[in-house]
Amino acid sequence: MVFQPLPYAFDALEPQMDARTVEIHYTKHHRGYFDKLEASLKGYPEYWKRPLIDLLTNLNDIPETVRMSVRNNGGGLWVHDFFWRSMAPGGLSLNKRNAFAAALVRDFGSIEKFEKDFKAAAASFFGSGWTWLVRDTAGKLWILSTPGHDLPTAAKYVPLLVVDVWEHAYYLKYQNRRAEFLDNWWQLIDWQKVEKRFLAESWRED
């Protein structure tokens, strides 16, 4: 297992996401999940060597003594990587003529309605967690939220996009104004990456 580099500089997401927040989020929170996972798996080199996503999607196979650490710290490690890689400086726009955009219109009514529904789900989620856009095994798109660092059910859903709604993701700049954070975060989404995930055969390598 490795601690992946941040795919851009700390200040690359300014002004929507300030450099200080990104730096603390990446070097303290994200790094902290990696360090805690590493510490908890010290006596389990066979798990440390396996792809993290395999552990997270087979939590019942993990010894009970370390299962919660894999779920919380391993989940935090994986989902933050996915989150950082869902964004690009300034964002990359959605091609409204492609199959992914058509699926958004089909399943949410319009692109605008999807945006409204996603932000509403993320703004209203109670407590710390994540809001996702996923596609199910039949290709239908859904918005859902998970608490803590839990992933969407792997047998049913492929994750396409995620936003961190833990307070540490936005509090320094936005304090309690989560909806304002979400409006600004929306401008950072890498829609080319989201579309690539939508079209991919497997979501295990992002």
| Closer residue to Mn ion, CB minimum distance, 29 or 36 | 29
Residues that bind Mn ion in the complex, under the rule CB under 5 A: 29, 164, 166
Residue nearest to Mn ion (CB): 164
Q: Shortest Cβ distance from residue 136 to Mn ion (Å)?
A: 26
| Closer residue to Mn ion, CB minimum distance, 86 or 135 | 86
Are 75 and 62 in contact by the 8 Å Cβ rule? The answer is no
| Closer residue to Mn ion, CB minimum distance, 82 or 157 | 82
Q: CA 175 to CA 160: how far, in whole Å?
A: 27
| Closer residue to Mn ion, CB minimum distance, 95 or 176 | 176
- Give the N- to C-terminal CA distance of the chain in Å, as an integer: 15
Q: Shortest Cβ distance from residue 164 to Mn ion (Å)?
A: 4
Q: Shortest Cβ distance from residue 116 to Mn ion (Å)?
A: 24
Q: Shortest Cβ distance from residue 10 to Mn ion (Å)?
A: 15
Q: Which residue stretches of 50-98 are H helix?
A: 52-56, 64-69, 75-84
Are 105 and 111 in contact by the 8 Å Cβ rule? The answer is yes
| Closer residue to Mn ion, CB minimum distance, 131 or 198 | 131
Residues 6+ positions from 117 with CB-CB distance below 8 Å: 108, 143
34-56 burial by CB neighbour count: b if 16+ within 10 A, else e? bebbeebbeebeebeeeebbebb
Q: Shortest Cβ distance from residue 134 to Mn ion (Å)?
A: 19
Strand, coil or helix: what is 158?
strand
